[in-house]
């Protein structure tokens, strides 16, 4: 993503990247108050970075998991091929448990493991297996960025000068590895074309990815925005203040049902009622062709404390504070995602173009070579 430095200059930074067997990333937890980077040296650290949301967003999770597999390969290069493959299989099983909903995670571990196994079957030695796994992890990273660039343009062309866009959660550059993100890609593209765009950033309780991350990304790029509480989005949609909605996705079922951050379904329902276009921006890597419909997608349930507490910055003391907003023993349900039925979606913007949200629409790109 592009950030503005204290002296006003712009700098491009990656959300996650790899240097040999060390995975490096922005630790998104203290944002927007502190821009901090972390080094991950072990598979356990990679697992925690996904589970505890140092990194988050389907694309970034997938890239991190792929790099995690590359790390395992590089750190076990002196083992004989069968033991190296066993290590990779073990790592895949473990990493896949970090978060259940974003399919990019499982796709990345599967793709890297399969490349390793193909190399073994070809008779490659351990060095050859390591090379195959690392190359595939790097390809996932690069594919992610190429896809985001394409999606930004396809979606950006839908935005007219002076339009207001609404987005939910953070499907921005922080949720990917490169500069565009998914749902914010079209906004960035339109802004770069000189169009006036305004962005409503849904706050996105309980972790407030919209307020903390999307708003910060917009500010960094000088794009006009306002944070709104989640309860306000249907109001702005009803009053004609929203021209178009772009959201990302964590998993799209083969029939076009879209799983995304909790609250997305409500936005889609309001859009249908008030006739506002509702687009999903996601690369092919997010489509789960084995999942017949969205109702079968496993929905992550997170710690109740994310709902019963809030955290922020005490401006006077300049320190991070966590506060209870409910009684100490209060019960909460913390459902992280919901499923928007395909019939509420205007189109799915992928790196191959805008698809009809249906089995036939998604099938068209299933076997195309990567962009
Ligand atoms: O729980 P998170 O922050 O990982 O959820 C992120 C989202 O729901 C995004 O909208 C989604 O991953 C698409 S962005 C690649």
Instruction: Look up 250 and say whether it is catalytic.
Output: yes
Q: How far apart are CA 91 and CA 95, in angstroms?
A: 6
Q: Does the beta carbon of 59 lie inside 6 Å of ligand 1?
A: yes
* Residue 317 confidence class, pLDDT cut points 50, 70, 90: confident
Does this chain's domain 2-148 share its CATH topology with 155-363?
no
Q: Are 258 and 288 in contact (CB under 8 A)?
A: no
Tokens of 34: 């502190």
Tokens of 71: 């790390």
Catalytic residue among 144, 202, 230, 250: 250
Q: Does the beta carbon of 263 lie inside 6 Å of ligand 1?
A: no
Residues 6 or more apart in contact with residue 80 via CB below 8 angstroms? 126
The atom number, within ligand 1, closest to the CA of 337 reads 8
Q: Are 179 and 173 in contact (CB under 8 A)?
A: yes
Q: How far apart are CA 148 and CA 184, in angstroms?
A: 10
CA of 316 to the centre of ligand 1 (A): 32
- What is the H or E stretch that residue 167 is in? strand 163-167
Provide the pairing of β-strand 22-27 with 16-19.
Answer: antiparallel
Q: What is the mean pLDDT of residues 165-177?
A: 97
Its CATH class, for the domain covering 2-148, is mainly alpha
Q: Are 172 and 221 in contact (CB under 8 A)?
A: no
- Per-residue pLDDT reduced to its tens digit, 215-260: 999 999 999 999 999 999 999 999 999 999 999 999 999 999 999 9
* Residue 6 confidence class, pLDDT cut points 50, 70, 90: confident
Could you tell me which of 92, 60, 55, 2 has the C-alpha nearest to residue 283?
60
Phi then psi dihedrals of residue 225, to 5 deg: -155, 165
Instruction: Lowest mean pLDDT of 10-19, 152-161, 261-270, name the range.
Output: 10-19
Could you tell me which of 187, 177, 186, 255 has the C-alpha nearest to residue 225?
187
The atom number, within ligand 1, closest to the CA of 172 reads 14
Per-domain residue ranges for the chain? Answer: 2-148, 155-363
Q: How far apart are CA 286 and CA 302, in angstroms?
A: 21
- Per-residue pLDDT reduced to its tens digit, 351-365: 999 999 999 999 999
The atom number, within ligand 1, closest to the CA of 61 reads 4
Architecture of domain 155-363: 3-Layer(aba) Sandwich (3.40)
Q: Are 154 and 354 in contact (CB under 8 A)?
A: yes
Which residue among 51, 52, 175, 212 has the greatest number of ligand 1 atoms within 8 angstroms of its CB, and so is best to mutate? Answer: 175
- Per-residue pLDDT reduced to its tens digit, 113-142: 999 999 999 999 999 999 999 999 999 999
* Residue 60 confidence class, pLDDT cut points 50, 70, 90: very high
Phi then psi dihedrals of residue 138, to 5 deg: -65, -35
Q: Is 120 left (phi over 0), alpha (psi -120 to 50) or beta?
A: alpha
Q: Does the beta carbon of 55 lie inside 6 Å of ligand 1?
A: no
Q: Are 59 and 142 in contact (CB under 8 A)?
A: no
- Per-residue pLDDT reduced to its tens digit, 185-196: 999 999 999 999
Q: Are 177 and 287 in contact (CB under 8 A)?
A: no
Tell me: pLDDT of 103 over 90: yes
* Residue 8 confidence class, pLDDT cut points 50, 70, 90: confident
Tell me: pLDDT of 184 over 90: yes
The atom number, within ligand 1, closest to the CA of 260 reads 8
Residue 10: predicted pLDDT: 86
Q: How far apart are CA 179 and CA 108, in angstroms?
A: 20
Q: Does the beta carbon of 248 lie inside 6 Å of ligand 1?
A: yes
Beta-bridge mates of residue 10: 4
Percentage of the chain surpassing pLDDT 90? Answer: 94
């Amino acid at each position: 993503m592009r950030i503005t430095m204290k002296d006003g200059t712009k700098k491009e930074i990656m959300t996650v990247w790899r240097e040999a067997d060390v995975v490096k990333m922005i630790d998104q937890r203290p944002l927007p108050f502190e821009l901090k980077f972390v080094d991950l040296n072990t598979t356990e650290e990679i697992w925690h970075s996904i589970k505890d949301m140092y990194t988050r967003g389907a694309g970034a999770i997938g890239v991190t998991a792929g790099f995690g597999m590359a790390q395992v390969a590089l750190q076990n290069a002196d083992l004989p091929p069968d033991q190296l493959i066993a290590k990779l299989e073990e790592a895949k099983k473990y990493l896949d448990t970090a978060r259940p909903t974003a399919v990019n995670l499982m796709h990345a571990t599967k793709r890297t493991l399969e490349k390793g196994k193909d190399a073994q079957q070809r008779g490659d030695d351990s060095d050859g297996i390591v090379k195959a796994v690392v190359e595939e992890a790097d390809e996932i990273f690069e594919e992610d960025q190429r896809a985001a660039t394409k999606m930004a343009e396809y979606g950006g062309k839908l935005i007219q000068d002076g339009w207001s866009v609404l987005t939910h959660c953070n499907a921005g550059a922080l949720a990917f590895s490169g500069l565009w993100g998914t749902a914010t890609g079209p906004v960035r593209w339109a802004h770069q074309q000189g169009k006036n765009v305004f962005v409503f950033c849904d706050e996105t309780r309980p972790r407030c990815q919209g307020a903390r991350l999307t708003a910060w990304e917009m500010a960094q790029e000088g794009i006009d925005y306002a944070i709104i509480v989640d309860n306000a989005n249907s109001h702005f949609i009803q009053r004609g203040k929203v021209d178009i909605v772009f959201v990302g996705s964590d998993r799209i079922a083969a029939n076009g049902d879209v799983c995304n951050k909790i609250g997305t379904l409500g936005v889609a329902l309001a859009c249908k009622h008030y006739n506002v276009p509702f687009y999903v921006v996601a690369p092919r890597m997010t489509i789960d062709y084995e999942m017949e419909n969205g109702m079968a997608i496993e929905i992550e349930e997170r710690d109740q404390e994310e709902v019963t507490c809030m955290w922020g910055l005490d401006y006077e003391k300049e320190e991070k504070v966590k506060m209870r907003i409910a009684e100490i023993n209060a019960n909460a349900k913390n459902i992280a995602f919901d499923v928007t039925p395909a019939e509420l979606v205007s189109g799915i913007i992928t790196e191959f173009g805008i698809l009809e949200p249906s089995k036939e629409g998604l099938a068209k790109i299933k076997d195309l070579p990567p962009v």
